[in-house]
Amino acid sequence: MKLAPRARKAVLTVHIVSSGAWIGVDVLVAVLVGVGLAGGSDAARGLALRALAEFVVAPMLISALVCLASGLLLGLATKWGLVRYWWVAVKLVMNVLLCVLIVVALSPGMPEVAAGGAAIEAGQVPAADLSSLVFPPTVSLIALAAATLLSVYKPGGRVRRRSRNASGRPGSPSLRRSRSATKAVSEARPTVAA
């Protein structure tokens, strides 16, 4: 499957915008967590935590899934492939892992965050320990920065595929022949006496 140049540029634009939106949502999460845990008044802290619980997970997940879908389409329809180059494979794994973490780790804890925010606003101590909220934006922002660096610098070259020959051993017969041919050529060269 190949994308026409205009379609490829459109999908690439969607991919860049969605990853930028994802980073923006993560920055917002970091700000809300910072205010919620160390902000000034109880009203501001409680409001930040309730806003975090109510409004953040859906836009984060949507931008992550759009980023994943557009990245998959770009991988399948361009020369980069999905697992042809290391940097693309690493970005794919990171994107899938972060999407899973949003659904499995972040989203289920939001009712506790909302309850903690309401408790703080009421001048009470939250029932749950909310200090672990610093980890999601930290991990996500580091991973997304790493993905951005991989996209810009494209390090690592191609992923090597191990082929199996008819006997089930790694390596193709043609590769072994070329190695033995190289060895034969190097042995046949005359040596120059000094």
Q: What is the pLDDT along the chain (194 residues), one digit of tens a residue?
A: 899 999 999 999 999 999 999 999 999 999 999 999 998 899 999 999 999 999 999 999 999 999 999 999 999 998 888 889 999 999 999 999 999 999 999 999 999 999 999 999 999 999 999 999 999 999 999 999 999 999 999 887 888 876 655 555 655 444 444 455 455 545 555 555 54
Q: Which pLDDT belongs to residue 166?
A: 56
**Angstrom distance (rounded) from CA 55 to CA 99:** 17
**Angstrom distance (rounded) from CA 81 to CA 72:** 9
Q: Which pLDDT belongs to residue 12?
A: 96
Q: Which pLDDT belongs to residue 187?
A: 58
Beta-carbon contacts of 65 under 8 Å, excluding residues fewer than 6 positions away, are 99
Q: Which pLDDT belongs to residue 31?
A: 97
**Angstrom distance (rounded) from CA 126 to CA 10:** 46
Cβ contact 82:32 at 8 Å: no
Backbone φ, ψ for residue 74 (5° rounding): -65, -40
Q: Which pLDDT belongs to residue 186?
A: 52
Q: Which pLDDT belongs to residue 64?
A: 98
Q: Which pLDDT belongs to residue 159?
A: 85
Q: At what angle do helices 110-121 and 5-38 cross, to 10 degrees?
A: 40
